[in-house]
Every structure is written in C-alpha cells, then in structure tokens.
Amino acid sequence: MGNSRITAPSALLYARCSRCGEEYSPDVAESLCEKCKGVLLMHYDYRQIAEEVSKESLERRIPSVWKYSELLPITEKPSIVSLGEGGTHVHECRRLMEQLRVKRILVKDETTNPTASFVDRGSTVVVSKAIESGSSSVCCGATGNLGASLSAYAAKAGLESMIFLPKMLDLGKLYQMIVCGAKVELTSDYVAATVRAERFSRHSFLVTPYNPYFMEGEKTTGYEIVEQMGWRLPDRIIVPMGNGGHISMIWKALTEFSELGFIDKVNTRLTGIQAAGAAPIVDAYSRGDSVVVDAGKVETLALDIGIESPSAGDLALNAIRSSGGTCATVTDREILEAARLLAKSEGIFAEPAAASTIAGLKKMMEAGSIDRDEEVLCVITGAGLKDPVTARRFVKKVRAVETVIRRVEDRRLTTRLGPTKLRILEIVSTQEAYGYQIKKELEEQFQISVKVPVVYQHLKELETLNLVRRSSVREVGGKPERHYYTLTEKGRATAKSLGTYRG
Ligand SMILES: [Zn+2]
C-alpha cells in the first residue's frame, strides 16, 4: 500500500562531499569522501523534479516516506523495502503550552514509526539500496535505535543482519534486534562497535549513520513538517543531536523544498539539543568553531544521543547557523522531568533522547533564549518503552505500582518454574533432602507422582537457576550414595516471595 505512485527518480545526479566538494557516482557513494572523510550528500536535478511533482500532486499521495520518491535515491522500484514508515502525526500540545506558557507548541511524533523511532526513515532507504546492490546481509555498529530498525527491515527483506553494540544499551532495542533474528555482538563502547562493523563489512553491506542513502531517508521528516503545516514552517524546530544527521537532513529537506518553489524561503530556526554528558556539537558552537572535536567521555542515560564523535557534526553546525538557530545541552535530570511532563500532559511516552527536545525548550525559554510568542515544533524521535530501565525509574516512587510490578514478575517466575519445581522448593525449604525422599514427599504432601530421575532433572534445572545447591553426599549402609539438596540464598528469597518457604 502507498507504493503505487513510486516512479523511478531519474533526477538523481551525483553525491558530493560536503567538505571538499568532490563528486561521486551515486552508485558507489556508500561511505565518507575518499579524499577528506567528509559526509557525502545526494544532489538531484531539481528543475526536472519540479516538472514531475507539485504541491498538489504530493498532497494527493498517501502519507509515507516513499510519497517523496522523486527526491529519494532508489531507482529500482521493486527493490523498495517498506514497513509503512513516515507519515507520522504533528500534534498541537495545548496542555503543554499552558504549563510552559509558550504561544504554540507542536510535536512531530516519530514514536509511531514501525520500530518506534525516526530511524526507520533511513532504514527503509538504505535497506532498499542493499537489495538494489544485490547484498544478502547488512551490518552496523549502533547505539540502539539503528540496530533495532535495521534488524526489522533486514527481516522484512530476507537479509541477514549483524549488529555490533556497546555494552551500555537500551534493553528494549536489544529485544527488538533479537526477535527480528539479528546476530548481536557486544563491544566495549560505541567506537569499538563501529570498528568491528567496518571490519565485518567485507562480507556484508555496511550501514552507518553517515551513509548517504540512510541520510536521504532521514530528511523526509523535514518534508512532512512543511506539508503538514500547510506549506509553511514554524518559527523554530527543535531536534535531538547525536551524530547530527537528522537536523542536517531536515535542513537539506527545507532547502530542497525552497529550491522546488514549495516554500518561499527557509524561515525557521533549527535548534539542536545534546545531553550535557555528550555535547561535542554544542561545544563547537559555543567556541564559534565549524569543526567538531571528539567529546572524550560520554555520560548520559540518553544513550541514543550519547555520541563521542558525531559523524555529521559540521553539517549540524551549518544547519543551525544557516537557519539562525541555536543549540543547548540538557542534564539527565531535566530529560527525565521532561519525559514525565510530556507523557502526563500530552500522552506521548518518549525515550530520554527524544524527551531532550522538550527539556531544551523549557530550559531555553526560562533562560530567555526562546521567545514565548514563538511557534515551536519539537521532534520526538523515539518511544519510551525502548528503554525499560529508565521507564522503571518513573514508577519507583509509587509504592502501589511497585507492588503490582513485583507480583507480575513473581507470577512470571511461577509460570516458568511450574508446579512440581515450586513444590520441590517448598520441600527443600524445610530440610536438606535427597531425590527419593523428595519423590515421597511430593506424593504424600502434594499428590504429585513422578519418577526419581524426573526429580533429579528438576533439581538439576533448579541448580542451573541457582535456586538450590548440593549440600552433602552421604553413604548409608552400602546403598548408592545420596545427594542432599538445600536452598541457595536466591532460592530462599524466591521461595519467600512466592509463598512456598516453610523453613
Ligand atoms: Zn571530501
């Protein structure tokens, strides 16, 4: 659905280095400039595109990344791999406007994308490119959202996926990767993950945040904002910055729409937010530099924007300065407060990286660097459930909820252990016991009839779960030796919480 209008974008001309201007054929442009390591950007024949599409023809198409296919670099229509990405809503945030006392706040809610982050916009294009180039697998070094998204699109396309990840990661994203069949390897940090991926790319199509195909997908956020606002722009657009690719590509989208005559000029201030514990782009901006220096250490719970060495940092600085925007940092505490505020007032549960835009808006308004008369649009890049550990922090202080969660967790353990193991735990909680003895107790006390080897199988599994341990071996009058079992510390705690402790 929605792909019926895709036409071959013959207007794609070349990829050009954003630093030195070197031009490359779009077919070979999958990484950085060979001469200066600058990011490559795709260029099109905009006059030709203006003849093919108009505001009216775009409005008639189904909302999706691929409605802008003439402005995307995939030439083979059957290669397109789509899960229904893009076309996300722009909401007016009335309650948030009242609380923050700003004239108008809008959010672009990217949490409703197929894998719950804006990254799907890039994945659909880059995986389509992998298919077009005949690859059978994709790989990447990722912080989380990219890995989760790429795994899903690879699964849809029937490609294998290999994801290298730093140990500090959001569990929800890891679950997404595993369930989609990705192979995952953990590395010490993000830089190590990218190095491993690079090495692996001899056997696989490498996806990076600076891959020009991936970045072209990211720009569709910008197209949608313009179109959804009725072919105009808000006073300000606030975007989280990790690698700086998204804000750079939104800027590219706006200048392209201006080039095509869909808007007069780009009259919005692009404003980037970084976590205080990882802010190399904001640091460069504050110094007045156009080159971003590596952050060194990264410390933030907003893992998806905690980037030490932003690949599109200089492009992001250019987007901010060219649009007359600004940038700022926010602390983890400000991010968490903002996430709670956004969820409570607007019903959108954002992950920390995404909530950083709301935190930034609040902070800059209080500091007077954003005017209360402005119309501000915040991009909410990913969903809160991707990071269950942080999500859990929101309910920690609510005792009733804490009890409910514990009961659910206990029930899951009860289901996993099954009735026989629970009874064995109960028997062992009263005394040291051996296999035959446990078999007799199961029969007499609980009317559970099982053979001795089955009892030992259960004991072995309980041992693996570290709930019981062998306490002693005894020989009684020439009979085979008896192995006695007792509860471990964890076994005692578990038996207590499940109500099967009688010791
Ligand atoms: Zn170059």
- Map out the domains of the chain as residue ranges: 12-117+213-393, 120-212, 416-498
- Strand pairing category for 482-487 and 468-474: antiparallel
Alpha carbon of 298 to ligand 1 centroid (Å): 28
Rounded distance, CA 57 to CA 52, Å?
A: 9
- On the CB side of 64, CA atoms within 13 Å amount to 21
CATH pick for 12-117+213-393 out of 3.40.109.10, 3.40.50.1100, 3.10.20.740, 3.40.50.300 = 3.40.50.1100
Instruction: Specify the pTM.
Output: 0.84
Spatial CA neighbour of 29 closest among 145, 133, 147: 133
| Predicted pLDDT of residue 390 | 83
Tokens for 418?
A: 């099954």
Alpha carbon of 308 to ligand 1 centroid (Å): 22
Alpha carbon of 466 to ligand 1 centroid (Å): 57
Alpha carbon of 29 to ligand 1 centroid (Å): 12
| Predicted pLDDT of residue 168 | 84
Alpha carbon of 28 to ligand 1 centroid (Å): 14
Check: CB of residue 83 under 8 Å from CB of residue 153. Answer: yes
**Range list of H helices, 158-244:** 171-179, 190-200, 212-218, 220-228
Rounded distance, CA 310 to CA 318, Å?
A: 14
Amino acid found at 324: G
Alpha carbon of 146 to ligand 1 centroid (Å): 25
Alpha carbon of 309 to ligand 1 centroid (Å): 18
Cα distances (angstroms) measured from residue 494 to each of 77, 296, 422, 456 = 56, 43, 10, 20
| Predicted pLDDT of residue 475 | 83
Per the listing, tokens 């059957």 go with 78
Alpha carbon of 40 to ligand 1 centroid (Å): 8
Alpha carbon of 206 to ligand 1 centroid (Å): 20
| DSSP at 18 | T
DSSP string, 62-97: PSSGGGGGGGSS---GGG---SS-----EEE-HHHH
Alpha carbon of 471 to ligand 1 centroid (Å): 68
| Predicted pLDDT of residue 498 | 80
Mapped onto helix, strand or coil, the DSSP state of residue 102 is coil
Q: What would be the CATH architecture of the domain defined by 120-212?
A: 3-Layer(aba) Sandwich (3.40)
| Predicted pLDDT of residue 410 | 75
Fold topology of 416-498: Arc Repressor Mutant, subunit A (1.10.10)
Burial label, 347 (beta-carbon count in 10 A; 0-12, 13-18, 19+):
exposed
Q: What is the pLDDT along the chain (503 residues), one digit of tens a residue?
A: 344 444 444 799 999 999 999 999 988 778 899 999 999 999 999 999 999 999 999 999 999 999 999 999 998 888 999 999 999 999 999 999 999 999 999 999 999 999 999 999 999 999 999 999 999 999 999 889 999 999 999 999 999 999 999 988 888 899 999 999 999 999 988 889 999 999 999 989 999 999 999 999 999 999 999 999 999 999 999 999 999 999 999 999 999 999 999 999 999 999 999 999 999 999 999 999 999 999 888 899 998 899 999 999 999 999 999 999 999 999 999 999 999 999 999 999 999 999 999 999 999 999 999 999 999 999 999 999 888 888 878 777 777 777 777 777 777 777 788 889 999 999 999 999 999 999 999 999 988 999 999 999 999 999 998 999 999 888 877 777 889 999 999 999 888 888 888 87
Alpha carbon of 25 to ligand 1 centroid (Å): 14
Interior/surface letters 145-183, b for 16+ CB within 10 angstroms, e for the rest:
bbbbbbbbbbbbbebbbbbbbbebbbebbbebbeebebe
Same fold, 12-117+213-393 and 416-498: no
Alpha carbon of 294 to ligand 1 centroid (Å): 19
Alpha carbon of 165 to ligand 1 centroid (Å): 28
Alpha carbon of 447 to ligand 1 centroid (Å): 77
| Predicted pLDDT of residue 77 | 83
